Amino acid sequence: MLAKHLADTLSGSGIRVNVVAPGYFNTGRVHNRIEALMVDEGLDRDAAIERVANANPLGRIGTADELAELVGFIVSDRARYLNGTTIVIDGGSSRLAT
């Protein structure tokens, strides 16, 4: 909602506003989730990683490079017609929630 409002407000000035909504990526937050599974469910690291990865339709965790490539595109001139939208990059996980 805020991004759409900002996009509407700033579009005349050449400023584009978009939102990136990431799923699980190889970050500290995911590592914390893996650690919690290890402690709470007694899983070893590989089993905990597999559990997190298998919760995704692609069967894996996203990489920082994949996220960076998307953001690089969004801020580039190639995406100059993209404004006021949310781009979900989660390997398809969000479609499972509906």
* Residue-level pLDDT at 98: 64
- Three-state DSSP state, 88: strand
Instruction: Say if residue 67 is in the same domain as residue 98.
Output: yes
Residues 26 and 48: their CA atoms lie apart, in Å, by 13
Instruction: Say if residue 57 is in the same domain as residue 84.
Output: no
- Our CA angle for 11, 14, 15, nearest 5°, is 70
Domain residue limits at 75 = 1-23+63-98
Instruction: Say if residue 72 is in the same domain as residue 57.
Output: no
DSSP assignment of 34-87 equals HHHHHHHH---HHHHHHHHHHTSTTSSPBPHHHHHHHHHHHTSGGGTT--S-EE
Residue 83 is given by DSSP the state -
Token digits for 57? 């339709």
Token digits for 82? 């993209």
pTM of the full structure:
0.83
Instruction: Say if residue 94 is in the same domain as residue 72.
Output: yes
From first to last of the 98 residues of the chain, give the pLDDT tens digit.
888 999 999 999 999 999 999 999 999 999 999 999 999 999 999 999 999 999 999 999 999 999 999 999 999 999 999 999 999 999 999 988 76
Instruction: Say if residue 51 is in the same domain as residue 67.
Output: no
Domain count, the chain: 2
* Residue-level pLDDT at 97: 73
Instruction: Say if residue 35 is in the same domain as residue 83.
Output: no
